[in-house]
Chain A
Amino acid sequence: DSGVTQTPKHLITATGQRVTLRCSPRSGDLSVYWYQQSLDQGLQFLIQYYNGEERAKGNILERFSAQQFPDLHSELNLSSLELGDSALYFCASSVAFGGQTGELFFGEGSRLTVL
């Protein structure tokens, strides 16, 4: 158990819909990262938040957005969903900036299926 909690574990929805994925980081971790894992793209970095502020952006679509709340939990919002958005979405956390400590702690992921 990494200490990172993601909900829901599975989500099935239709094209055009909007979903919200939630992540609670490990106790004490200030950084939250979102990754998308798909068969064709592999593990792609989406976005990072540190203590409530956006720190880095990766390959995140404009239809996607995220935020980190004062209690440090984070939400990833996916809107106008397309079939290609079906993937496993991981949240990870670290104490500071991940590479400085050398370790990201990953949740078990939220599997999104868009029909």
Chain B
Amino acid sequence: AQSVTQPDIHITVSEGASLELRCNYSYGATPYLFWYVQSPGQGLQLLLKYFSGDTLVQGIKGFEAEFKRSQSSFNLRKPSVHWSDAAEYFCAVGDPGGSYIPTFGRGTSLIVHP
């Protein structure tokens, strides 16, 4: 079964600084990979996804992620963080050979300082 590890429980950055959130997955082949964001009191919203092809994926709100097969990673990046980016970020992996249902990591809480 697939699994996802988000090693950072909390990340604190200053507004305007760059951001990288880490995600490592465990899966026998190339999985489907996702990043979702959860703002306070809201449900999860998809930021971006990777199925195949170009390993650098662009998403909404200025986010991007890079799939690195050799490192089993799918890290999320943003060049300049805004205060409104403060939220919980979830990496997820789906099994293209099975049920497709995403398995989520434990999440990383992003705190943005002014």
* A contact residues vs B (CB 8 Å cutoff): 2, 4, 33, 35, 42-43, 45, 48, 55-56, 58, 90, 92, 97-100, 102-109
- B20-28, B62-70, B75-83, B90-98: which one contacts chain A? B90-98
Question: Main SS of the interface on chain B?
Answer: loop
Cross-interface CB contact of B105 among A42, A98, A106, A107, cutoff 8 Å: A42
**CA distance in complex: A102, B93 (Å):** 10
Residue of A nearest to B103 (CB): A45
Establish whether residues A56 and B49, one from each chain, have CB atoms under 8 Å apart when the complex forms. no
Contact A99 B32 (CB under 8 A): yes
Q: Is the CB of B100 within 8 A of A99?
A: yes
Q: Determine which of B42, B51, B99, B104 lies in contact with A56 in the assembled complex, contact meaning CB atoms within 8 Å.
A: B99
Number of interface residues of B (CB under 8 A): 24
* Contact A104 B102, beta carbon cutoff 8 Å: yes
Question: How far is the CB of B14 from the nearest CB of chain A, in Å?
Answer: 27
Q: Does B11 make an interface contact (CB < 8 A)?
A: no
**Please, which residues of chain B bring their CB within 8 A of the CB of A102?**
32, 34, 46, 49, 51
Q: Which residues of B are at the interface with A, using a C-beta cutoff of 8 A?
A: 32, 34, 36, 41-46, 49, 51, 90, 94-96, 99-107
A45 to B46, CA, bound (A): 17
A-B pairs with lowest CB-CB distance, top 8: A99-B100, A106-B43, A99-B94, A43-B104, A102-B49, A42-B106, A106-B44, A97-B100
A2-B45, A107-B43, A108-B41 known; A98-B107 Cβ under 8 A:
no
Whether A99 and B102, one on each chain, are in contact in the complex, defined by CB atoms closer than 8 angstroms, is yes
A98 touches B104 (CB 8 A): no
Contacts of A45 in B (CB 8 A): 101-104
Task: Identify B102's interface contact among A55, A98, A107, A108, CB under 8 A.
Answer: A98
